[in-house]
Each structure stands twice: as C-alpha cells, then as structure tokens.
Amino acid sequence: MKVALFVTCLVDQLWSSVGTSSVAVLRRVGCDVEFDDRQTCCAQPAFNTGYRNEARQVAKRFIEVFEDSKADAIVSPSGSCTAMVHHYAELFSDDPSWLGRAQAIAARTHELSSFLIRVLGVEDVGASWQGKLTWHDACHGLRDLNLKSEPRRLIRNVRGAEFVEVENAESCCGFGGTFSVKYPEISVAILDQKIEAIERAGVQAVVSGDASCLMQIGGRLSRKGSKVRVMHLAELLNQT
C-alpha cells in the first residue's frame, strides 16, 4: 500500500527519530512510503488558540499538498494532529468547496496505530524491546479518534516488553498546546499527578502516540532527574 507520511512539524523539528521510525515500521509491514517536503503543520496551534483565519490558511495549504499525493492513505505519528485534520470541517463549514476537499483529506488521514490495526490489520510488527513499560493515552487519540485498544495490542506484541497499566493512563498530561505556556503552573500540577503514577509503577519507559505529550512528560521527568525515559510508539515498534 502506498502511504504518504505526515510527519508533523513538532516531530520534524524536535523529534526526528519518531519520523524515521515511522517510515521504518511502515516499510517493514510492506508499505511504500512517500514524504512531500512541502508539508508543514496541521494548523492546530492557531485553531486551538482561537485564530481561525490563520488556521484556515495553514489547513488549506495542508489540503493542497496532500491532494497532490496519489497515496492510498495519509499516515501520521500523532493522534492530536490527525484529529485536527478530522476537525477541518469545522473551519470550512461556510465554504462548501473547501468543506468537500477537507472531508476527502480527513477520510484518508490515519494515526499510525489506527492505520496499522484498523486499515492494515497488522497487530505484530516484529518488534522487540527488553523492559517494563506503560502507555499514556494521549487525549486526542483516545477521545477524538477512539484509540484505546489499538496501541495496547501493538505493544503487547513487542517481544520482551512487560506492559503494565498506570491507574491514570487516560488522564491528561497537562500539555494542551498553548495552555502549557499560558498557564504553566496548572499544566505542571496536572503533569505531576501523571508523573507520580508513572514513578509508582516502576517502569523503565512511558510510551505514547504523541510527541507533544512525551515532551511534556519527558521534560518533567528529566527535570526531576528520573530514570524513566519517554518513547514514542513508533520508536518502540522500530526496536528489533
């Protein structure tokens, strides 16, 4: 299957190994991966901060770039950015021509674990990693895309990995985009409850499907001098 990677601006600039891992995993399960380097951002920062005109400009750009692709699917290692693409309809509710184009793009856009399980039907990508780990349900993947069992099924098939649940796996990490810098104290207070549970679980790694949450969780863990590391699902699945 031909796949167009939407790597996300965050991964592109700050966590490129999530992108390279995504490519490797997709190729391993037989996909032909393309990457259009005219892509930038999904428009979420502006949309979530209330700047809809600016969000529309960037969303249109996204639609134009990916309309040029002949790929069967657009795949992204981010539940949050994928959910944003699925929200485009809200930006173009008064604009029938763009609305149709936005909906067509959204229908082709999948988050990585969702694509592997729901589209390809692949539960085991042949990964192995030694150690104890847990999963953080990134909010938009969980609640906008309804991804709950998909990442867990993929993780359970990683050889050598001991998977444990933390009791607040579904609780927000406190990131919330511009919220994390508008109200940093609240953001960190929310985060600390997450961190407490992770530390109690005695894991070596926290895995999640969004680099943004992992920056938030990882940034606090490293500030506290914790030995727990953060890992994106794509990075875990790329371990062999």
Partner 1 sequence: MNQLSSETFGENAKAALGDAQLRGALRNATTLFGKKRREAAASLSNWEELRSQARAIKDEVLLHLDRYLETFVTNAETRGAKVHWARDAAEANAIITRLAVERGARNVVKSKSMTTEEIHLNAALERAGMQVVETDLGEYIIQLADETPSHIIAPAIHKTKRQVAELFTTELGMAPTDDVDQLTSTARSTLRERFATADVGISGVNFGIVETGTIVIVENEGNIRLTTSLPRTHIAVMGIEKLLPRFADLDVFLKLLPRSGTGQALSTYQSFITGTKRNASDEGPEELHVILLDNGRSRMLAHPVTRQSLACIRCGACLNACPVYQQIGGHAYGSVYPGPIGSVITPQLIGIQKAAQLPFASSLCGACREVCPVKIDIPQLLLHLRSEITDKQPGGRGKERLAFKLWAAIMTRPKLYEKTVIAGRLFQRWFKPPVKAWTNGRDLRPIEAESFREHWRRTR
15 interacts with partner 1 by CB under 8 A: yes
Pick 114 or 161: Cβ nearer partner 1: 114
Contact 168, 135 (CB under 8 A): no
Binding mask 75-104 toward partner 1 (x if CB under 8 A, else -) reads: ---------------x--------------
Pick 158 or 180: Cβ nearer partner 1: 180
User: Which residue, 63, 66, 71, is CA-closest to 92?
Assistant: 63
181 interacts with partner 1 by CB under 8 A: yes
Q: Say whether 75 sits in a helix, a strand or coil.
A: strand
Q: Quick one: three-class SS letters along 22-68?
A: HHHHHHHCCCEEECCCCCCCCCHHHHHHCCHHHHHHHHHHHHHHHHC
Phi/psi at 38 (5° precision): -90, -10
- Total of residues contacting partner 1 (CB under 8 A): 67
Phi/psi at 30 (5° precision): 95, 15
Binding partner 1 (rule: CB under 8 A), the pick from 96, 121, 185, 227 is 185
61 interacts with partner 1 by CB under 8 A: yes
Q: Which residues contact 5 (CB under 8 A, 6 or more apart)?
A: 19, 22, 23, 26, 33, 34, 35, 74, 75, 76
Binding partner 1 (rule: CB under 8 A), the pick from 134, 180, 208, 238 is 180
53 interacts with partner 1 by CB under 8 A: yes
197 interacts with partner 1 by CB under 8 A: no
| Interface region with partner 1, contact rule CB under 8 A, candidates 113-121, 126-134, 168-176, 202-210 | 168-176
Residues near partner 1 (CB under 8 A) are 7, 9, 11-16, 19-20, 23, 35, 37-41, 43, 45-55, 57-58, 61, 90, 139-140, 142-144, 170-172, 174-191, 193, 215-216, 218-220, 222-223
